Chains A and B, each alone.
Chain A
């Protein structure tokens, strides 16, 4: 600026703009601002915030994110997508559907039956919170909601197992159906535990990994037990 003014003042006697070619801005003067003009933003109607987009787009974007995470759970590789963009929609949907399918159960007396909706809900969420606190207290580097997200999404195989169990129970409730249900629930329990371990194990200190994995094992074991002992009315 100073250099330009100086040469401009000095060039007042010369023809107009003669010294402009000599103008240069020294390196240490900060020049800020955009010199490119954004194309096509002349009218305010085309300034899309997510407030103006169709509702369908908003919903589909979130649904796609949730669906992508479901795929990550079913094929657990060491990808960080589940951890990076955590969300709790998936766990909520899974927990509610599992609790709806599990509630009630047969009972001779009112209290002798299966877990109620609130009990399943509390077990899943409170259990996930306790496991997350446990891993953080042991020195894990994962954040609170990331861990909740992973634990909630890894309930997906067990929800699938619950669906299969209900379908098998429609067919009959003898020994064969019990064996089928047992195999399915055990396979899905192993899948859940391995999937959540694959995502969570890296963030734990190496000599405490077993201390963190055991509660996750217990958590999915209890959910599997609730699924296995479900008897239709």
Chain B
């Protein structure tokens, strides 16, 4: 009896010792859940050999340390996605549904950096190439126009897009962290999830920037509105559950700033890379006799400006706009004036 009691006592002791020795055994399995899940779900076993080996060493040593910031494995955790997952996330950002929070529904605690990085890169090159093409298409008929690749646009697009996709999520995350400390009703996502949401929300601008090539003005603005609505609603739907319990003013302010920055990016890209098309095809519901007059006048002013030695097309364009506006006001008079080519410079 004493022997069995002793045995029982020793077993209990040993179990307690084991638990005391490795207190973080259970917690690491929870925190490293994502790597375990990735190994289980649909992946072949000759794939992550390093993962398998490190798994075995974990089991053998009984404890695991998360990879240090300076190792390669730390960053591999950010690229732990499969093809269908990335495509799924892009679909979710293109068609936001009110019930589906992007972070909860699509990311599911597995944010990645692959999507944001390559979507931003694609957007940079798409903007530069489309901008160059639209510039070419617009000035094609002009005899004094010489085509140039305008490679500096790639640099400018790159800086703009990467700064937006990197700094704005950082600012928003910082604000939410601060707000969480001040007001207990506010939650926050991790920095990586915020960057991920912003990156994927930019994906709608890629087809938009290709479609902006069509030189029809009202269609371009319609495209901007659609793109801004779609990607803005992804952002709003994602961040709304976090801040809706905050004070009304703060909530409204945050949402307004988020949407305003997004709109600024879209409109800025459109205005810088895609100049206003020369020939205004009026929308089908607005057919006016004065439209033809405006077109002719603008064309004449532009042609005249091109002949001069002036180096600043922006100023020239705004001058054209000003003159056209003035003439438009004049054209409101009952009798529209038909103009021939002027015999003397204006």
Shortest CB-to-CB span from B1 to chain A, Å, is 57
Q: Is A112 an interface residue (CB 8 A)?
A: yes
Residues on B with beta carbons closer than 8 Å to the beta carbon of A107:
148
A108 at interface by CB-CB < 8 Å: yes
Q: How large is the interface on A (under 10, 10 to 19, 20 to 34, 35 or more residues)?
A: 35 or more
Q: Chain A, 120-139, contact with B by CB distance < 8 Å: what is the 0/1 string?
A: 00000000000000101111
B151 touches A113 (CB 8 A): yes
Q: Which 7 A/B pairs are nearest by Cβ-Cβ distance?
A: A205-B47, A137-B79, A229-B149, A114-B149, A115-B151, A210-B83, A207-B82
Q: In the complex where A137-B76, A225-B129 touch, is A106 in contact with B83 (Cβ < 8 A)?
A: no
* Contact in complex: A108, B146 (CB < 8 Å): yes
A205–B44 touching, CB < 8 Å = yes
Q: Which residues between 73 and 88 of chain B lie within 8 Å of chain A, taking CB atoms?
A: 75-76, 78-79, 81-84, 86
Do residues A218 and B149 form an inter-chain contact, with CB atoms below 8 A?
Answer: no
Cβ of A47 within 8 Å of any chain B Cβ, yes or no, is: no
| 8 A Cβ contacts from A156-175 to B | none
CB distance from A78 to the nearest CB of B (A): 18
Select one of B47, B114, B149, B311 contacting A231, CB under 8 A: B149
Assembly CA distance A105 to B146 (angstroms): 11
Closest CB-CB distance, B136 to chain A, in whole Å? 9
CA distance A130 to B155 in the complex (A): 17
Q: Collect the chain B residues with CB atoms within 8 Å of residue A112's CB.
A: 148, 150, 152
A214 to chain B: which residues have CB within 8 Å?
118
Does chain B have a CB within 8 A of A211? yes
| Selected A-B contacts with CB under 8 Å, 20 pairs | A105-B151, A111-B152, A113-B151, A114-B149, A114-B151, A134-B79, A134-B114, A137-B75, A137-B79, A138-B79, A139-B47, A205-B48, A206-B47, A207-B43, A208-B83, A211-B83, A215-B118, A218-B125, A221-B125, A230-B149
Q: Would you call B40 an interface residue if the criterion is a C-beta within 8 Å of the partner chain's C-beta atoms?
A: no
Nearest residue (CB) in B for A116 is B151
Indicate if A143 sits at the interface (CB-CB under 8 A): no
Q: A218 to B122, Cβ gap below 8 A?
A: yes
CB distance from A219 to the nearest CB of B (A): 10
A58 within 8 A of B: no
A residues touching B (Cβ–Cβ < 8 Å)?
105-109, 111-116, 119, 134, 136-139, 141, 205-211, 214-215, 218, 221-222, 225-226, 229-231
Q: Complex Cα distance A141/B15, Å?
A: 41
B199 to chain A, nearest CB (A): 15
Asked whether A209 lies within 8 Å of B83 as measured between CB atoms, the reply is: yes
Can you name the residue of chain A whose Cβ is closest to the Cβ of B48?
A139
Q: B127: shortest Cβ distance to chain A, in Å? A: 13
In angstroms, Cα B50 to Cα A138, docked, is 12
**Nearest CB to that of B79 among chain A residues?**
A137
Beyond A137-B75, A211-B81, A211-B114, whether A114 also contacts B43 by CB under 8 A is: no
Instruction: Please measure, in the bound complex, the distance between the C-alpha atom of A114 and the C-alpha atom of B151, giving whole angstroms.
Output: 5
With both chains docked as a complex, state the minimum distance between the C-beta of B41 and any C-beta of chain A, in angstroms.
10
Q: Is B34 located at the chain interface by the 8 A CB criterion? A: no
- The answer on a CB contact under 8 Å between B43 and A106 is no
A108/B148 contact (C-beta < 8 A), A205-B47, A207-B83, A222-B125 known: yes
> If A134-B114, A205-B47, A218-B125 touch, does A114 touch B148 (CB 8 Å cutoff)?
yes
Q: Which residue of B lies closest to A109 (CB)?
A: B311
Given contacts A209-B83, A218-B121, A218-B125, contact A231 B44 (CB under 8 A): no
Minimal Cβ-Cβ distance residue in B for A211: B83
Known contacts A136-B72, A139-B79, A229-B149; 9 further A-B pairs (Cβ under 8 A): A112-B148, A113-B150, A116-B151, A137-B78, A137-B79, A141-B49, A211-B83, A218-B125, A231-B149
Bound together, the chains give a CA A107 to CA B118 distance in angstroms of: 30
CB <8 Å contact, A115 and B149? yes
B42: min CB distance to chain A, Å: 7
Given contacts A137-B79, A211-B86, contact A113 B148 (CB under 8 A): yes
Which residues of A have CB within 8 Å of B49? 141
B25-55 contact mask (Cβ, 8 Å, vs A): 1 or 0:
0000000000000000011100111000000
Is B218 in contact with chain A by the CB < 8 A criterion? no
What is the 8 Å Cβ interface bit string for chain B, positions 273-308, against chain A (1 contact, 0 not)? 000000000000000000000000000000000000
Residue in chain A with minimal CB distance to B121:
A218
A139 to B81, CA, bound (A): 10
A30 to B125 Cα, complex, angstroms: 67
Q: Would you call B101 an interface residue if the criterion is a C-beta within 8 Å of the partner chain's C-beta atoms?
A: no
List of B residues within 8 angstroms of A115 by Cβ? 149, 151
Least CB distance from B167 to A in Å reads 20
B132 at the interface (CB under 8 A from A): yes
Q: Residues of B contacting A221 with CB < 8 Å? A: 125
Q: Is the Cβ of A206 less than 8 Å from the Cβ of B44? A: yes
In the complex, A112 Cα to B81 Cα: how many Å?
40
Interchain CA distance A114-B86 in the complex, whole Å: 34
- What is the 8 Å Cβ interface bit string for chain B, positions 146-187, against chain A (1 contact, 0 not)? 111111100000000000000000000000000000000000
